[in-house]
Each structure stands twice: as structure tokens, then as C-alpha cells.
Amino acid sequence: MSPIRIAVAGVAGRMGRTLVQAVDAADGLVLGAATERAGSSLVGADAGELAGVGHAGVAVQADLAAVVDDFDVLIDFTVPAATMAHLAVCRGAGKRMVIGTTGLDEGQKEAISAAGVDIPLVFAPNMSIGVNLCLKLLDIAARVLGDEVDVEIIEAHHRHKVDAPSGTALRMGEVIADALGRRLDEVAVYGREGHTGPRERAAIGFATVRAGDVVGEHSVWFAGDGERIEIAHKASSRLTFANGAVRAARWLAGRPPGRYDMQDVLGLKDLASV
């Protein structure tokens, strides 16, 4: 069977380089193309050398459309505007996509859903198995604990991260709000300062830390009277996300068009809930 040819967008970024390492280590996958922002000094460099895995024979391109015949699946962990441009190219050319970019607005998320009519794509704010298992655990915890507890989501990331709260924290909030029959946009409280008054019972609070080289940490509190449950995940290597993206790229082969997420890839939607 011929290998699945992967394109990595934003290949000079923290995730871009890690994705090239993960593709290099994966059976049945080969790096077919790599892109960077137009104007980057790294356009033209060898993508394998950039990622520290040796010469790959894949020169970094500024324009995804120019290399559209060189890949089967695009893995995109970049910035929202770039992801939207790449989505248009992939939709037009019938290419599959794995999208990990966070910080997208509602219109951009709708554009991803619309592209899912024509191409199969996986879109998830966190590709790690552990976080996706936590999403399932959060759904169960919220259904069991109901309105008896206060829910607070605390996340920490490295100093370079540009969006807050993290896409993962927001997804955790959505899962919990859905389980409790609440609307996240009505109950979310993003940070607190000054004379806030007492806590609203239905609120779902978010707290954000940006510091040092923290890869990604999420902790959800379900705090009641007399006890507190915490469901927490700590990523210590970006390979956990990159390996999840590689798994998603493999899973997409032969799928009909649709917008999927990592719960689909991992088969977690089939697990019984409470």
C-alpha cells in the first residue's frame, strides 16, 4: 500500500517541528510538503533538517496551493487566518485535513463545518488521548454531580501562547455545560477581579496562567460542601499532540466527508455515558 503523504503547515512552529518528527517516526506516513508564512526566512529550508530528523527532500513553501499535488492530508497547527486560507485550498482540491489550531471565532468554526460537506476533516483543540479521555470523564462527573457543585476550569500554558482561555479549556467548558443543560456563553466567567459579589451557582469559571515553558495543563474542579473532585491533565511533551494528529490523519483515510473530532477518532462517542 502506498504511504499517506502528509503536508505540515507552519512547519517552523513549535507544533510544526514536532509534527514532522511524529510523521518521520510513523509507519505508513511520509512527509510530502511543508509550508511556512510568506516572508519567513525559513521558506526554502529543508523541513526535515528544520525538525532535526535529517534531510527530508521537502523544501518549505510559502504557498500551499503550489504543492497541493504533493500531499493527501494537511495537518495544520498554525493561526486562525492561515487555517482559513488552507481550508479553502484543501476544500477546492479535495484534500483531507487535521486541524489543531485554536483561537478561532464562531464564523471560522462554521467555515470548518461547511468544508466538512466536501472533505473529511478532524478538528479538535487537543489531540492528546489523555485530554480526550478527560472530556469523557468530565461529562460523566458533571452528570453525576449536577447542580450541587461549583465548576472551575484552570489552565496553564507557556509564555508564547497567544489565545486564552485555551481551546481545550473552552471545550471542557462546553462539555460540562452541555451535560448540565446550561449554555456556556450564558454562564462562563473569564477571570475575576474587584468586588465580584458571591459566586453564581450556575457559573463555569475559567482561570488562565501563562508562564515559562509549560506545555499544557488543565484542571477542572467540581467543588461542593465537604468535598472537591479534580479532573486534571498535564502534558509534558508536544509529541502527545503530534502523535494524536498522526493518528487522526491515518483514521481519515477512506472516511466520507464530514467534520469529525478526536472523540470520533478514538471511538469515545461509542462509550456509554451515565
Ligand X SMILES: NC(=O)C1=CN([C@@H]2O[C@H](COP(=O)(O)OP(=O)(O)OC[C@H]3O[C@@H](n4cnc5c(N)ncnc54)[C@H](OP(=O)(O)O)[C@@H]3O)[C@@H](O)[C@H]2O)C=CC1
CB of 76 to ligand X, least distance (A): 8
| Residue placing its CB nearer to ligand X in the complex, 37 or 210 | 37
Binding residue (CB under 6 A) for ligand LZUJQKHR from 161, 210, 250, 255? 161
- Part in contact with ligand LZUJQKHR (CB under 6 A); list of ranges 35-43, 139-147, 164-172, 242-250: 164-172
Residue 79 contacts ligand X per CB under 6 A: yes
Positions marked active-site: 157, 161
Binding residue (CB under 6 A) for ligand LZUJQKHR from 17, 96, 157, 247? 157
What does the per-residue mask of binding to ligand X show for 149-168, with x meaning CB under 6 A?
Answer: ------------------x-
| Helix, strand, coil percentages in the chain from 3-state DSSP, rounded to 5 | 40, 25, 40
- The whole-angstrom separation of Cα 228 and Cα 242 is 33
- Residue 210 interacts with, from ligand X, ligand LZUJQKHR, none (CB under 5-8 Å by kind): none
CB of 111 to ligand LZUJQKHR, least distance (A): 19
| Residue placing its CB nearer to ligand LZUJQKHR in the complex, 35 or 102 | 102
- Is there a binding annotation on residue 103? no
- Is there a binding annotation on residue 125? yes
Binding residue (CB under 6 A) for ligand LZUJQKHR from 18, 78, 126, 240? 126
CB of 6 to ligand X, least distance (A): 15
- Residue 157 interacts with, from ligand LZUJQKHR, ligand X, none (CB under 5-8 Å by kind): ligand LZUJQKHR
- The whole-angstrom separation of Cα 19 and Cα 238 is 9
12 CB burial (10 A radius; 0-12, 13-18, 19+) = buried
CB of 175 to ligand LZUJQKHR, least distance (A): 13
Which positions from 35 through 74 interact with ligand X, judged by CB under 6 A?
35-37, 40
Which positions from 120 through 139 interact with ligand X, judged by CB under 6 A?
124-127
Q: Contact, 38 vs 63, CB < 8 A?
A: yes
Which residues are known binding-site members for (S)-2,3,4,5-tetrahydrodipicolinate? 158, 167-168
Applying CB under 6 A, which residues contact ligand X? Answer: 9-10, 12-16, 35-37, 40, 77-79, 82, 100-103, 124-127, 167, 241
